[in-house]
Structure 1
Amino acid sequence: MRGFFIFVLWFSYVVNAFAGSSSNLLKTYKKDVFYTVKGLKANKNSLLTFGGLLGFSFFLDKGTRTYVLNHQNTTLKNTADFTNYFGSGYILFPAVTALGTWGFLNNNYKLLEASVTSFESGLTAGLLTIGIKIAVGRKRPYGTDNPFRFKPFKKDTLFHSFPSGHTVMAWSMITPYAVYYKQPLLYLIPLSVNFARVYKNKHWLSDTVMSSGIGLAVGYFFSKRHLNKKIVLLPSKNNLMVGVRF
């Protein structure tokens, strides 16, 4: 999660750069959060289904870990090492920044909007994940063979297994691009991070299931609101401002 803090610092820089328009930006962000909460409440059946899937995954944790540890090989290890980068803040944050900048410089506002939404989604999901990690205090699989070891509010990252920060970042920041461009195949990227975190014995299966739900929900609802309201970053004379395109 260290890369996440680089993300936060960059966010602070952007907000300051907005000068007089920063209040509009923060107001828009607040509405995005409320829209997401409202959207989740309106999809109770989906939440119940996800809750059942998450609960079931807890009982698969130990067996999955044992199976993975007994089926290690060079090809899968190299694959996991590679796909693990797609959940790293050191990769995602600069990549999204570069894509957004490219979109702005080339008047590709669809790419700019998707990147801004990805940025905002990653910030929100990341902050939420940090809070849950600390509050839950689940021990990582490389430190125990018991998936039900919890020590809430421990500072030691050994007890920050639930949920997976890498997986949350991948889902929350890739989902906006999948929604904006209607490309479900992009979800293979965060799924590969799910695989990497379990294969590398950094997280239990249920950690990644929870992370997928958080990241997908935040990324999806933020994207839907921005697309419905056509919220964009508009260039002004001296800076940028949040606006609504008709």
Structure 2
Amino acid sequence: MKYRIFLIIPYLTLCICLSSAQQLKTEIDSVKKPQTIWQMAKYDTRHTLKSVGHAFTKPLHWKGKDFAKLGILLGGTAALSLADEPIRDFVQNQKSDLPGVVRDFGWYFGSPQNYFMVNAGLYGFGLFTKNEKIRKTSVLIISSSITTGLIQTITKNAIGRARPNHRDDPYVFSSFANDSGFRSFPSGHTVLSITMAHSIAKQFENPWVKAGIYTVGAIPPISRLIDDAHWFTDVAFSAALSIIIVDAIDKFLFEENVYDYPIKRKMVSWNLRFSTNQIGFVGTF
């Protein structure tokens, strides 16, 4: 119970912050907008399902540059795996320096039951207060979480990568093994925490607020490395996947005029970089 309270209090505070931080919005046809709580719930559910469907069908319309980005992501992940063992050794040497409460937060926040409980509270607050910004944020979180969750579940079992605490070699695989020790790639905790952090950070323009949100979101991935449950490339790929999915669904909701967005739409821009001396994501705020 103490961990649930530990999780709920910051996000109830976030609800209040989001409620008071609403900005000037664009005008959208009032007939299209639901008015009652029941209408809003149906509206949000419908567009959550549409967002998930859009995310899974989008690859059917990819062009050359989209496949190139996918190749960069996969190639960059493969190249980065060369650093998995040195990074693991470094992290394990710092294990005793990380406070237990931080590791506990990382585990409990990244667990699906706690994660969806927090988002249910966030959405419930937005629904019953008829706060569109919070409803939009929650729909973005849940639709992105469903998408990334399904992708990581299928990929995790199909690839069957051994966890570092199960095998010392980062290149041991056993597809569809009936053993949780072979479900390292990608990281489910990372997928959920980065999905929520990125979805919430997009609602703010202040770079310091964004940095604080991303810092909290980074705790579960770091704690999973400390617990020796994942290799570094597991969490790196998962973070990239989450950012890509959240941005794609947010763009879809914007283009479909589902919710009000600020007149001057400012977004965090993330670009893949892969060269002889640079691998990763570069964010522009």
Greater CA deviation, 75-84 or 194-203?
75-84
C-alpha contact (below 8 Å) 1:35/1:225 kept by paired residues: no
Greater CA deviation, 45-54 or 151-160?
45-54
C-alpha contact (below 8 Å) 1:36/1:222 kept by paired residues: no
Amino acid at match of 2:141: S
**Map of 2:22 onto structure 1:** none
Structure with a larger share of its residues in helix: 1
Matches within 5 A, 1:1-246: 18=42, 26-35=49-58, 42-43=65-66, 46-182=69-205, 184-185=210-211, 186-232=213-259
Which segments of 5 or more consecutive residues in structure 2 lack a partner in the other structure?
A: 1-37, 260-285
SS of structure 2 residue aligned to 1:224: helix
Change (3 A) 1:202 1:28: closer
Amino acid at match of 2:165: Y
Q: Distance in 2 between matches of 1:83 and 1:37?
A: 36
Deviation at 1:184? 3.1
Amino acid at match of 1:192: I
Change (3 A) 1:45 1:135: closer
Q: Aligned residues: percent identity?
A: 25
Greater CA deviation, 50-59 or 143-152?
50-59
Q: Distance in 1 between matches of 2:181 and 2:139?
A: 33
C-alpha contact (below 8 Å) 2:164/2:229 kept by paired residues: yes
- TM-score, normalising length: structure 2: 0.67
**Map of 1:6 onto structure 2:** none
Amino acid at match of 1:81: D
C-alpha contact (below 8 Å) 1:129/1:163 kept by paired residues: yes
Change (3 A) 1:227 1:152: same
SS of structure 2 residue aligned to 1:231: coil
- TM-score, normalising length: structure 1: 0.76
Greater CA deviation, 56-65 or 31-40?
31-40
Greater CA deviation, 128-137 or 90-99?
90-99
Deviation at 1:140? 0.7
C-alpha contact (below 8 Å) 1:179/1:223 kept by paired residues: no
Q: Distance in 1 between matches of 2:172 and 2:153?
A: 18
C-alpha contact (below 8 Å) 1:171/1:212 kept by paired residues: yes
Deviation at 1:195? 1.0
Q: Distance in 2 between matches of 1:71 and 1:139?
A: 22
C-alpha contact (below 8 Å) 2:225/2:232 kept by paired residues: yes
C-alpha contact (below 8 Å) 2:148/2:191 kept by paired residues: yes
Deviations 1:172-231 (A, max 9, x none): 232222223345322223322221111110101111111111111111211121123232
Change (3 A) 1:123 1:40: farther
Change (3 A) 1:192 1:28: closer
Deviation at 1:137? 0.5
Q: Distance in 2 between matches of 1:96 and 1:173?
A: 9
SS of structure 2 residue aligned to 1:152: coil
Q: Distance in 1 between matches of 2:152 and 2:166?
A: 20
* Length, aligned pairs only: 217
C-alpha contact (below 8 Å) 2:106/2:223 kept by paired residues: yes
